[in-house]
Amino acid sequence: MSAISARFLPVEGGDNTHLISAMRGHNQSAGGHPILETDRLKLVAMEKDDVEQMSRWDESPDVRKYFVANAYALSEPEREKEMFDTWLEETEKGVMCFYKVVLKKGVAAKRGKERPIGMAGWHQTGDIPGRYELWLYIAEGKWLNKGLGTEIVKELTRALFECYGAHTVMLCWHAYNLRGRRCYIDKCGFKYEARRREATSWEGEYFDMEIASITREEYKRLKKDGVYGDT
Ligand SMILES: CC(C)(COP(=O)(O)OP(=O)(O)OC[C@H]1O[C@@H](n2cnc3c(N)ncnc32)[C@H](O)[C@@H]1OP(=O)(O)O)[C@@H](O)C(=O)NCCC(=O)NCCS
Of 118, 182, 190, 185, which is closest to residue 160 (Cα–Cα)? 190
Nearest CA to ligand 1 atom 7: 149
Instruction: Spell out a b/e string for 60-91, using b for 16 or more CB atoms within 10 Å of the CB, else e.
Output: bebbbebbbbeeeeeeeeeebeeebeebbebb
Per-residue pLDDT band at 229 (split at 50, 70, 90): confident
What confidence tens digit (pLDDT) does each residue in 131-166 have? 999 999 999 999 999 999 999 999 999 999 998 899
Ligand 1 mutation target, pool 99, 142, 183, 196, most atoms within 8 A of CB? 183
Tell me the CA distances in angstroms from 130 to 107, 133, 168, 173, one per residue in order. 35, 10, 6, 21
Record the pTM: 0.89
Listed range (37-41, 103-107, 123-127) with the worst mean pLDDT: 123-127
Say which CATH architecture domain 17-224 belongs to: 3-Layer(aba) Sandwich (3.40)
141 lines ligand 1 (CB under 6 A): no
Residue 189, Ramachandran bin (φ over 0: left; ψ between -120 and 50: alpha; else beta): left
Confidence check: pLDDT of 226 > 90? yes
Nearest CA to ligand 1 atom 26: 179
Per-residue pLDDT at 48: 81
What confidence tens digit (pLDDT) does each residue in 42-95 have? 999 888 888 888 888 988 999 999 998 765 554 456 666 777 788 888 877 778
Q: Which ranges constitute the DSSP H helices of the chain?
A: 17-23, 51-57, 61-63, 71-75, 77-93, 148-163, 178-181, 216-224
